[in-house]
Amino acid sequence: MKMRTIVVALAAAVVVAGCATGAGSEEDVVQTLKSSFKARGIAKLDRLDQSELQRECSRYAQAPMPKPLAEKLEKAAMATVKYPADGKYIGDWKNGESIAQTGRGLQYNDSANTINGGNCYACHQLSEQEMSYGNIGPSLRNYGKVRGTSEPILKYTWAKIWNAHAFNACSQMPRFGDAGILTEAQLKDVMALLLDPASPNNQ
């Protein structure tokens, strides 16, 4: 997933450069990218294949996406969301903290059996005890304390983690559920980190 994000960004840059010089079609760009990468470990070249959403977000990387197109893509993303089969959204916040701290998984030097992490701290502030965090995404400190745990909040938060493109067509946030990065049990644990009143995130 991380490799795919990098590829989308590179593709956008190359497309923009190609448009500026008048050289190269989208197909040329894709072939150039594919010739620049080699399959290694569990990272195969199919990660370079873009979905319709990724292609459109690359196309509009430097210009506003038309609203009807954005709405179409967001609606399609929302349709991928699978809510918990047992109706329970909250797991163990201690496991959720571990998942948020871990950036392993899906990289060429991981094995197919590596348990994936969410690497949430790379983009968000969460627990106050963690001093190192990114700011690509908004701070999630006191997420549950501020928002509560009503059914709409539970469903919104789950859907956002499952496939953030449902709310922002070209979101940079990974599709943790839709792309199979985290299991349903792991998603519940991350939900607990965000929403459980006992979580350090809500202290």
- Are 98 and 158 found together in one domain? yes
Is residue 153 located within the same domain as residue 106? yes
Query: Which two tokens mark 47?
Result: 């990660």
Higher pLDDT, 24 or 104: 104
| Per-residue b or e along 111-125, where b marks 16 or more CB atoms closer than 10 Å to that residue's CB | eeeeebbbbbbbbbb
* C-beta separation of 95 from 182 below 8 A: no
Q: Confidence class of residue 118 from pLDDT cuts 50, 70 and 90?
A: very high
The total domain count for the chain is: 2
Report field, pTM of the whole predicted structure over 0.75: yes
Q: Does residue 105 share a domain with residue 50?
A: no
Same domain, 120 and 164: yes
Q: Which residue has the higher pLDDT, 173 or 129?
A: 173
Q: Which domain holds residue 59?
A: 2-63
- At residue 26, the pLDDT reads 77
Q: Is residue 73 part of a domain?
A: no
Residues 162 and 97 in one domain: yes
What's the pLDDT tens digit per position in 132-169? 999 999 999 999 999 999 999 999 999 999 999 999 99
Please check the confidence at residue 25 and state whether its pLDDT lies above 90. Answer: no
By 3-state DSSP, what share of the chain in percent is helix, strand and coil, each rounded to 5? 50, 0, 50
Arithmetic mean of pLDDT, 181-196: 98
The whole-angstrom separation of Cα 32 and Cα 137 is: 31
